[in-house]
Amino acid sequence: MNKTEFDIAIVGGGLVGASLALALAPKWRVVLIERAVQQLPSHVDTDWDNRIYAISPGSQTFLRSLGVWPPVRAGVIRQMDVRGDAGGAIHFDALDLAADALATTVENRSLQSTLWQALAGRVELINPAELQAVRFGADAVQLTLADGRELSTKLAVAADGAHSWLREKAGIPFSLQPYHQCGVVANFDCERPHGDIARQWFRADGILAWLPLPANRISIVWSTNDEHANELKALSPTELAQRVAAAGGRVLGSLHCITPAAAFPLALGRAAKVNGLRLALVGDAAHTVHPLAGQGVNLGFGDAKALAGVLNAAVGRDPGDAHLLARYARSRAEDVLRMQMVCDGLQKLFSLQYPLLRPLRNLGLNLTDGAGPLKRLLMQQAFR
Ligand SMILES: Cc1cc2nc3c(=O)[nH]c(=O)nc-3n(C[C@H](O)[C@H](O)[C@H](O)COP(=O)(O)OP(=O)(O)OC[C@H]3O[C@@H](n4cnc5c(N)ncnc54)[C@H](O)[C@@H]3O)c2cc1C
């Protein structure tokens, strides 16, 4: 293989870029360019990653097809209990879908390193590396690395996150509407068994989610305004554990903080298009969503699966063919828009403080909980 000419160059080796590279590797000459140094897995029991994802059954099937699933340690969500801010509630159970689980929780770092281990020897890995320039041409894309190396590829894929360098260089606009909120994440040991139940509270100060981890631990995401997020981050581990336990009505007894809290800004982001001249956008480079449904990374895996599906069915053709890229864009449009609308709508519905709206939105939760077919439809959409 000529080490400077490729079929597909993926910029960004996060979960989405790395999984896409693995899915394309058997059929194409792929190069993956990642800026950050990749680390080996650390499975020391005390060393937990505070970035936890709930991986949907559909994403699990995709990851299993790549040989990187199941993970070494994972939690299982068998039920989900959602509480409104005035007595409303809705409860989901995997048994209602005749399934074993609604989703599986996994650490970002462990899945990331499993993917990178699987990539070794299958694709050209350039890491760590910084890109300096890109030129999109009718026949190929030329990439220049900061160390002066030049690469040529038929298709460039932007998997370099919400602030994508490649998307910006291609001149694709990205609308970013900040929620003026942060997601505060941390992990805790629980006094009482969590029972494999994910819990979520729509509160006046934001949305609090508790996700079950193995060994009777939980991971939280507290989506809350910037000021409150900073206050939570500044608390001592003991104070934070008390605050989180109290916010959840102490349903799991007292909590003990096992990772420092981190916070990440939340925004609704959408690229004007996900295909361009010899260019495709995947993952956060294409869209970001509010984490209330835990779907950010699942949407990205959906992109990787769809793009790999289109390209792997067209071996022998030019992977940068505009028709193939348009097919990829069409295949993702509905799923992404629907998920963004649902997450954005729920976030807005529960952040409005009109007195009349509170009983109405809680009634809505209760009615949905009691409406069998509607609830099943909702579950089939949310947990596929
Ligand atoms: C702290 C934190 C916690 C989160 N928690 C949740 C959660 O609980 N649930 C959820 O659904 N979502 C969560 N998210 C969002 C979720 O992480 C993203 O939706 C998901 O990681 C998107 O994956 P990605 O591979 O598209 O992008 P990213 O994970 O952003 O990966 C992009 C990769 O590109 C690399 N890169 C960037 N620029 C360049 C460049 N110029 N050249 C080469 N490489 C480059 C980066 O180093 C990175 O490895 C969280 C995000 C953060 C920051």
CA 31 to ligand 1 center in whole angstroms: 19
pLDDT value at 1 more than 50: no
Most confident region among 218-222, 288-292, 334-338, 378-382 by mean pLDDT: 218-222
Give pLDDT tens digits for 223-278: 999 999 999 999 999 999 999 999 999 999 999 999 999 999 998 999 999 999 99
- Nearest residue (by CA) to ligand 1, atom 48, is 14
Helix (H) or strand (E) holding 91: strand 89-93
The dihedral region occupied by 326, where left means phi > 0, alpha psi between -120 and 50, and beta the remainder, is: alpha
Whether residue 49 contacts residue 195, with contact meaning beta carbons closer than 8 Å, is answered with: no
Name the residue with the closest Cα to ligand 1, atom 4: 51
Other Cβ atoms within 10 Å of 270 Cβ, number: 18
The domains of the chain, with CATH numbers, are: 5-42+51-382 (3.50.50.60)
Phi–psi pair at 332, nearest 5 degrees: -100, -15
For 155-207, the pLDDT digits (tens) are: 999 999 999 999 999 999 999 989 899 999 999 999 999 999 999 998 889 88
Atom index in ligand 1 nearest the CA of residue 289 equals: 19
> Which residue has better confidence, 211 or 364?
211
Q: Give the pLDDT confidence score for residue 2 in this predicted structure.
A: 52
One DSSP character per residue, 127-159 reads -S--EEEEEE-SS-EEEEETTS-EEEEEEEEE-
Q: Which residue has the tokens 């805790």?
A: 188
How remote is the CA of residue 372 from the centroid of ligand 1, in Å? 36
Q: Mind spelling out the 3-state secondary structure of 250-308?
A: CCCCCEEECCCCEEEEEEEEEECCCEECCEEECHHHCEECCHHHCCHHHHHHHHHHHHH
Contact 270, 172 (CB under 8 A): no
pLDDT band, residue 220 (cuts 50/70/90): very high
Q: Whose CA is nearest to atom 15 of ligand 1?
A: 296
Poorest-pLDDT segment among 13-17, 113-117, 272-276, 378-382: 378-382
Residue 88 has pLDDT above 90, yes or no: no
Ligand 1 nearest atom to the CA of residue 36, by list position: 47
- pLDDT > 50? residue 61: yes
Least confident interval from 31-45, 163-177, 305-319, 324-338 = 31-45
Confidence grade of residue 41 (pLDDT, cut at 50, 70, 90):
low
**Amino acid symbol at 281:** L
Write the DSSP assignment of 12-36 as a string of letters: --SHHHHHHHHHHTTTS-EEEE-SS
**Any residues with Cβ below 6 Å from ligand 1, and which?**
11-17, 33-36, 51-53, 131, 159-161, 165, 183, 185, 221, 262, 264, 283-284, 291, 294-297, 300
Highest mean pLDDT among 48-57, 79-88, 198-207, 228-237: 228-237
Q: What is the mean pLDDT of residues 96-114?
A: 91
pLDDT of 368 above 90: no
Ligand 1 mutation target, pool 32, 51, 62, most atoms within 8 A of CB = 51
> How does residue 366 score in pLDDT terms, banded at 50, 70 and 90?
low
Given pLDDT bands bounded at 50, 70 and 90, which one contains residue 47? confident
* Structure confidence at residue 10 (pLDDT): 98
Distance between CA 221 and CA 295 in Å, rounded? 13
Select from 134, 143, 297, 303 the residue to mutate for testing ligand 1; criterion: most ligand atoms less than 8 Å from CB: 297
- The rounded Å distance from CA 89 to ligand 1 centre is 32
**Order of strands, sheet of 103-107, starting from the edge strand that comes earlier in the sequence:** 52-55, 103-107, 75-77
Q: Over range 5-31, report the average pLDDT.
A: 98
Q: For the stretch 176-202, what's the b/e string if a residue is b when 16 or more beta carbons lie within 10 angstroms of its beta carbon?
A: eeebebbbbbbbbbbeeebebbbbbbb
> Above pLDDT 90, what percent of the chain?
70
pLDDT tens digits for 131-163? 999 999 999 999 999 999 999 999 999 999 999
Candidates 93, 97, 98; CA nearest to 82 is 93
Q: What is the mean pLDDT of residues 275-286?
A: 98
Q: What is the mean pLDDT of residues 365-383?
A: 66
Determine which of 22-36, 41-55, 220-234, 325-339 has the lowest per-residue pLDDT on average: 41-55
Strand, helix or coil for residue 384? coil
Tokens of 288: 């970001």
